[in-house]
A and B are shown apart, each in its own frame.
Chain A
Amino acid sequence: MPDQPAIVATDLVRDFPRPRTSLLTPAPVVHALRGVSLEVKQGERFGIVGESGCGKSTLLRLIAALDRPTSGQIVVEGTDITNLPERRLRFLRENLQLVFQDPMSSLDPRMRVRDIIAEPLVVQGHPASGARVRELLDAVGLPANAGERYPHQFSGGQRQRISIARALAPRPRILIADEPVSALDVSVRAQVLNLISDLVDELDLTLVFVSHDLSVVKHVCDRVAVMNAGQIVETGPTADVYAAPQHAYTQRLVSAIPTLQRALSGATTADLLSHPAAPSKGAPA
């Protein structure tokens, strides 16, 4: 099944009902996703870009079957997971792994690193050998004795390495990274991006990389989908989208990214706004 796409999403809709505010009016509904369709090929590095509240995390949760769509269909490696019960999702729990944004809150502070990394193996009934844990620590560039320590003893970049090691433990084929570097310093960001890039290549992973920073996505991904207000407004090869954005929202997004090159050639803060900013949705008027 090499030609089979890794992930196919068709017309995904996810509505979240909010608590009723009045007895006389129906409960308000937040339309988090309004008809999202995308296809990620095997071995592809696929980026999803958008601002807070655009629905990118909701989309990820649907792909990882952590949440169910209101309507639409998700097929992962040929299996329709849309309405599959949890007990039949075992293949997905092994083949698809996640790395989250905040490496502090996504690691259990009371578990030793070796137990954190072995946990996905234990849960899935695999033998969690010390050798596999050491191999994973080595793969993400951490010393073998790191396994004995606790998450708080590590810096942000090292914690993100632990998250990556945990995600790779069950030998997944699809890696989903939700803003993995936005909490990191510049020099650490480069190290973690290199690590993700190397591992994706070496282990032949399909990567879905979510970020609000188009310049990071451009560096990591082959193809990108730009999301705004629950919809994908533009998809294409990353370099093309970055160099010649077609949709008005993408244009505004690209022009708002400060870069050294632009700044050194005299760009000011007013130039970042050359496409007038629209008020963010969901905010009070």
Chain B
Amino acid sequence: MPLLELRQVTRRFGDFTAVDHVDLAIDAGEFFTLLGPSGCGKTTLLRMIAGFEQPDEGQVLLDGVDLADSPPEARPVRTVFQSYALFPHMSVEGNVAFPLQMAKTPAREIPKRVAEALEDVRLTGFGRRYPHELSGGQRQRVAIARALVTHPTMLLLDEPLAALDAKLREEMQIELINLQKQAGITFVYVTHDQTEALALSHRIAVMNRGNVEQVDEPSKVYRFPKSRFVADFIGQCNLFSGTVAARDGGIVSIAVDALGTVRVATPSTIAPGTRASIALRPEQIRIGASQGDTASDNRFRGTVSDLLYMGDVTVYRVRTDGGAEVEALLANSQTGRAKFFEPGDAVEMDWPAAAGHFIED
């Protein structure tokens, strides 16, 4: 039995359906991420798990028990808020002790528990400080210590790293992974940052307009997106749409406008004449001045129209002879690739049929 189960959960605000008949099952000990653009309903979903919002339809079950009648203060889940929501009039110790006091923990046990929680987030010695005397990263840790001190069954994190700078965010990501492993508590994490979701999660639920589009492991979400939205939202992606021209031994050929025939490997038994798409990651494309005469499933000529130098990699936007735009990515570490292309250079791109991912529209 999953630890948390959402059954047909729906939440409407007036005419707007924030969460639309969502089904989800989250297992104990999982690092589960709700990923999607702003307004996709992920925070509303999290607030329904915490109890701040009530579903208009459907059920939220924890350990098989419907939570409809338990207010937030009675649920064994804790939330780490985006703004941290530390109590400004209490010291760090006061903040961390608060949930213990609410849980009627014997007073003599509290200092020990607080000290342990602060040690877990590497804040030993900061107990007497006040929130306004801490840095953003330290406040973040106090918020986590405060949420974990009562050993809840589940921790809900609402974009907890959004306010931190890039360097600190990466550091906190690693800390979160370790903390989750060490505490063994189920994390439900909300973010709009796909790299964060890929780096942290055991499983990701990609949300769009109140619906869950795909629930999968990070590598599967990245490699095998179920819909055009998922392909486009997670990472950089070339999306080719067209009509299925032929199907032959696990290879489907699709006539893509402005590009030509693209072959993709798929077990799908789609009928010729149907509309379909291919998702192709820029790093799957080989790009060179000339690829020679070796046989290739997909080969297109074009001209570099733009490039985006990112340090470790360079993204080239190539306009094919047919007029299609394709993005290809080149790692700058590759030996023998010393020559960068300039806008206007003629290039050749190719990729095997297995590189693309077939999506039924």
Partners in one complex: no
